[in-house]
Structure 1
Amino acid sequence: MSLRVTFLGTSGAIPTTTRNTSAVFVQREGDRFLFDCGEGTQRQMMRFNTGFTIDHVFLTHTHGDHVLGLPGLLQTLDFNDREEPLAIHTPYGTRKLVERLTRVTGASPSYAVRVNEVHPGDTVLDSGEYTVEAFETDHRARSVGYALVEEDRKGRFDRERAEELGVPVGPAFSKLHNGEPVELDDGSVVQPEQVVGEPRPGRTVVYTGDTRPTGATVETADGADLLIHDATFAEDRAERAGMTGHSTAKQAAELANRADVKRLALTHVSSRYAGRESVIQREAREVFPEAFLPDDGDDLEVPYPSD
């Protein structure tokens, strides 16, 4: 089952000629989500072929570089005759601001737009196969991060062992794999645990938005397959990062080590590093070798953990 991340905007508060403001598109099979929606996000979606078929927008906070793309995107969806409702999730205390933003042109979309306030610890979305959880971040505004967490997968079915036990090929295999015992013709019963291995972990993708390093991020990202973390500044601006509610690339890498994540994507890079962004990646990799700085438009397929 595919889980793909497209980096639509990786710049900090000010866009550059090569990096747009914050937006991350995530597709899990037929489900498509947008995390933050900076100015120009709809054009990035067209440029990088993500399409506009999204059902949920998750905002980490309401600073302009994370939300100013909403009015244009909502209008385009309206022009495209959208009928399905759209859910926008935003940190607690910011609903009215976001609702005003959806009507900034003086007209409301013809489709339903639901604005939902979230608190750290909330399960924002539960599909049965995965959840999107909100967690606490530390910025200069009401803010949250989000974690997409898949449920465990079924253990591997040992067909050879099942046949040795006399289980007939066919529907009985599916019953066992679904956790149901099977009675054989001789009256003996084969239990699922005899032929099905331990549950296998799903995947976890964590997106912080703008934040200082926090223990909540470490806890949420524990063992995550991908952590997308604020890396606004290089270490020479560490004091500035703390004052403005951001992280350095080194701090993000240190956090990734503590959380034992598999990969770290560095994002929200300050425009002061335009043309020399490699310093951000270099500083992070000195601490966490699996760190990388995506360009706008980069696609990343998140694989299942090794079985």
Structure 2
Amino acid sequence: MELVFLGTGAGVPAKSRNVTSIALKLLAERNEIWLFDVGEATQHQILRTNIRPRKITKIFITHLHGDHLYGLPGLVASRSFQGGDTPLTIYGPVGVKDFLETALRVSDTHLSYPLHFVELTRGGKIFDDATFTVNAATLDHRIQSFGYRVTEKPHPGELLVDALRAAQVPSGPLYGQLKAGHDVTLADGRLIHAADYVAAPQPGRIVTILGDTRKTPNAVKLAMDADVLVHESTFGAHEAKLAKRYYHSTSQTAAETARQAHVGLLLLTHISARYLGPAAHQLEVEARSVFPHTKLVHDLETVDIPFKKGVVMSHVSQ
């Protein structure tokens, strides 16, 4: 499981930051990629990574402001041109379906795959299968804005092969039965209990990605005990009044949410173009004074999310 930041800017593109888009790579888990927001030129950013648009199966739009949405028609069309033939589901506020279908109709764009929409009017569970659950909740922005909590289901515990060998349990089909949780009776009459030879399930990982928002209790609920929280940090602490006026967060309020939710790592994104160089670094410094496990992310940076053993930062190969 990896996060790839395709755009980390706010409002308009800048030289060092494109507008918002985040890819959640689930290639090992389900051979899929999920996108969160598709700002202008997202598909150009994808060209600088190893992401293949045909692998994108779900797109979650947080809200309908242009810096989170304008790249959607182009990406959807390119996915078709590049051989994508599997269904694509788009989640987002009411209006995202009208926006995209209008763009495709006016441009006479025909897709080679089915397009499905799940328009949200309120929070709750919006996706659930054998491997993942996704919950949404409304945030506090000028227009309706959602945050998403992606929860991986627990992984089955490993079979304790060394212990089985020590107990002289013959390998083969019996191991498979034990791994599946079935008790087995050996040829010598011994009853082998699966629970004694299968480790505890490995808890799944939790990733919370928020749309634009002022500080709100729903953000804390979505982020509670998450391994990673991706939070907007449009303004610095000295511009708290401006942030409140425009329904955004400061780096400090993002850190307060992370601290209250007991997250593993806070990733700051959606940075205003006014913060360059040392000024951008200061956002990270401010947040770390409240929540030390904070990282200001940059375009094309990737975050690996391992199982409860820390998070490793690296750069995407160019």
Q: Same fold (TM over 0.5)?
A: yes
Alignment of 1:163-242 (within 5 A): 163-242=165-244
Number of aligned residue pairs: 305
Matched, 1:57 2:59: yes
**Secondary structure in 1 matching 2:45:** helix
Does residue 21 of structure 2 align to residue 18 of structure 1?
no
Q: Report the Cα distance in structure 2 between the residues aligned to 1:148 and 1:281, rounded to whole angstroms.
A: 25
1:73 and 1:243 map into 2 onto residues whose CA distance is 32
Unpaired stretches in structure 2, ≥5 consecutive residues: 311-318
Cα distance 1:153–1:107, how it changes in 2: closer, same or farther (>3 A)? closer
1:29-44 aligned at under 5 Å gives the runs: 29=27, 30-44=31-45
Moved more, 229-238 or 184-193: 184-193
Please tell me the residue identity of whatever aligns with 2:294: A
Determine the C-alpha separation between the residues in 2 that align with 1:79 and 1:198: 45
- Give the superposition deviation at 1:269: 0.8
Larger mean CA deviation between 254-263 and 95-104 belongs to 95-104
Give the superposition deviation at 1:80. Answer: 2.4
Local SS of the residue matching 1:232: coil
Partner of 1:47: 48
The equivalent position to 1:5 in structure 2, one of 3, 6, 20, is 3
Alignment of 1:205-284 (within 5 A): 205-275=207-277, 276-284=279-287
Letter in 1 for 2:36: F
What is the one-letter code of the residue matched to 1:251? Answer: T
In 1: Cα distance, 2:74 partner to 2:197 partner: 54
Distance 1:82 1:306, change over 3 A: closer
| Residues 284-295 of structure 1 aligned to structure 2 (within 5 Å) | 284-295=287-298
Distance 1:306-1:185 versus aligned 2 partners, 3 A rule: farther
Secondary structure of 1:47's partner?
Answer: coil
> How far is the alpha carbon of 1:45 from its aligned partner?
0.5
Residue identity opposite 1:28 in structure 2:
L
Alpha-carbon distance between aligned partners in 2 of 1:102 and 1:138, rounded to the nearest angstrom:
30
Structure 1 counterpart of 2:140, from 138, 141, 148: 138
Structure 1: how far apart are the matches of 2:110 and 2:73? 10
Amino acid at match of 1:198: A
* Distance in 1 between residues matched to 2:13 and 2:95, nearest whole Å: 27
CA shift in 2, pair 1:166/1:118, >3 Å: farther
Amino acid at match of 1:281: E
Q: Which amino acid aligns with 1:179?
A: G
Partners of 2:265 and 2:36 lie apart in 1 by 19
Residue in structure 2 matched with residue 301 of structure 1 by the alignment: 304
Task: Using the TM superposition, give the Cα deviation of residue 306 of structure 1 relative to its aligned residue in structure 2, in angstroms.
Answer: 3.9
Equivalent residue for 2:314?
A: none
Seq. identity, %: 37
- Structure 1 197/81 Cα, relative in aligned 2: closer, same or farther at 3 Å? closer
Could you tell me how far apart the structure 2 residues matched to 1:200 and 1:120 are? Answer: 31
Give the SS at the match of 1:220.
helix
Q: Give structure 1 regions of 4+ aligned residues with deviation exceeding 4 angstroms.
A: none
Q: Which moved more, 1:134-143 or 1:225-234?
A: 134-143
The answer to whether the Cα contact below 8 Å between 2:73 and 2:100 also exists between their aligned partners in 1 is no
CA distance in 1, matches of 2:39, 2:237: 25
Separation in 2, partners of 1:166, 1:267 = 55
The 1:144–1:66 alpha-carbon spacing in structure 2 relative to 1, beyond 3 Å, is same
Structure 1 residues 291 and 228: alpha-carbon distance in aligned structure 2, compared to 1, 3 A threshold: same
SS of the equivalent of 2:18 reads: coil
Please give the alpha-carbon distance, in whole angstroms, between the structure 2 residues aligned to 1:156 and 1:291. Answer: 32
Question: RMSD across aligned C-alpha pairs, in angstroms?
Answer: 2.0
Moved more, 81-90 or 243-252: 81-90
TM-score using structure 1 length: 0.92
Q: Is the 8 A contact 1:70 1:102 kept in 2?
A: no
Runs of 5+ unmatched residues, structure 1: none
The Cα of 1:280 is off from its aligned counterpart by: 1.0
Q: Deviations over 1:274-294 (max 9, x none)?
A: 332111111111111111111
Residue among 113, 116, 119 paired with 1:117: 119
In 2: Cα distance, 1:184 partner to 1:298 partner: 53
